[in-house]
Amino acid sequence: MLRPLPGAARLIKHLHNHRIPIALVSDSPKSNVMGKLNHQHGWTELFKAVLGGDEVQKGKPDPEIYSTIAEKLGAEPDGCLVIEDSPTGIAAGKAAGMKVVAVPSLRRKASKNQYDSADLVLSSLLDFKPEVWGLPAFQDWICNTLPIEPWYVGGPVIKGFGRGSKILGIPTANLPTTAFSSVLSDCVCGIYLGWAALSDRGEVYKMVMSVGWNPYFDNTEKTVEPWLLHEFPEDFYGEELRLVVVGYIRPEANFPSLEALIERIHEDGRIASSALDINPYAKYQNHPYLLTPLCQKDEI
């Protein structure tokens, strides 16, 4: 079964609750689209119209599919906002005279110029700000953070690029990405907050972490790099690290200087540190995943 993109359910429910008409457009035949939609509980009723590739003469990048859906919605093209992940879809939306927000697919390292004709490129739907487009703003951000469905990852701390402490003065305890490659490929690159534990020590720490390709260093691999907000007297390579990731802060970014990157990471640390004191985040501090010994992990 296909899983919706992070932030998709939140977005369509929000728009529906505010009575903003939404439609689904795809190059695939309508029957395929409906099949997929029916697998997402309660989604079919949220869309005012659905249009499949078999219902128009010309597919994307031709504007026909978007012009047709505007007619079905009884909307003027310049009053429509398209959210697209493909370059041909962006071209179709623009040719139809609509505003287009590009949200490139999660799995690839984005090569930006493919999306240049979009009005805005986002790294994920979590960064979509409806008020920019004259739509009602989300009300679910708390203390500059967005609560997410928690994810749980863990593994032995491995050697990273040897950069965190040396270049930034900020150590990040790298995890082996092979251990949870499916979680990793499904999650949005960005900066997150949560709780961390080194399972042999029986203590839980606040943490803030980056997930992704670190644009400033232009890595070739997607990594998970938590900075534990605690002073440790020594390294802890090889120890079992558990993370419960509870909220999102921002997309990964590039910075004009190393100092600007460092300053922003410290700001992320302050944001995480104060947000984690309150619910819905504080309650996860006691989650059993954090301190359960390895051999019992499968039973949670």
3-state DSSP assignment of residue 82: strand
Q: Token digits for 149? A: 């469905």
Does 237 participate in binding ligand ADP (rule CB under 6 A)? yes
Dist CA 223 CA 161 (whole Å): 10
Determine which residue in the list 4, 160, 251, 269 makes contact with ligand ADP, applying CB under 6 A.
Answer: 160
Among residues 69 and 224, whose Cβ is nearest to ligand ADP?
224
To ligand RBF, the closest distance from the beta carbon of 181 in angstroms equals 19
To ligand ADP, the closest distance from the beta carbon of 264 in angstroms equals 17
Determine which residue in the list 157, 175, 191, 197 makes contact with ligand ADP, applying CB under 6 A.
Answer: 157
With CB cut-offs between 5 and 8 Å by kind, which of Mg ion, ligand RBF, ligand ADP, none does residue 67 bind? none
φ/ψ of 88, rounded to 5, equals -65, -35
Please give the residues from 71 up to 130 whose contact with ligand ADP meets the rule CB under 6 A: none
- Determine which one of 55, 64, 71, 225 is catalytic: 225
Interface positions with ligand RBF (CB under 6 A): 160-161, 163-164, 168, 170, 172, 191, 208-210, 214-217, 225, 227, 252-253, 261, 265, 268
| Known catalytic residue at 225 | yes
Dist CA 94 CA 116 (whole Å): 11
To ligand ADP, the closest distance from the beta carbon of 238 in angstroms equals 9
Q: How many CA atoms lie within 13 A of 280 on its CB side?
A: 14
Dist CA 192 CA 212 (whole Å): 11
Does 155 participate in binding ligand ADP (rule CB under 6 A)? no
For residues 149 and 205, the answer to whether their CB atoms sit within 8 Å is: no
Among residues 94 and 250, whose Cβ is nearest to ligand RBF?
250
Report the chain's terminal Cα–Cα distance, integer Å.
24
Q: Token digits for 267? A: 């700001």
Does 200 participate in binding ligand ADP (rule CB under 6 A)? no
To ligand RBF, the closest distance from the beta carbon of 144 in angstroms equals 13
Does 230 participate in binding ligand ADP (rule CB under 6 A)? yes
Beta strands in 30-144 (DSSP E): 49-51, 81-84, 99-102, 120-121
For residues 30 and 52, the answer to whether their CB atoms sit within 8 Å is: yes
Q: How many CA atoms lie within 13 A of 121 on its CB side?
A: 15
Write out the catalytic residue numbers.
Answer: 225
Return residues touching ligand ADP (CB under 6 A). Answer: 157, 159-166, 171-174, 227-228, 230, 232, 235-237
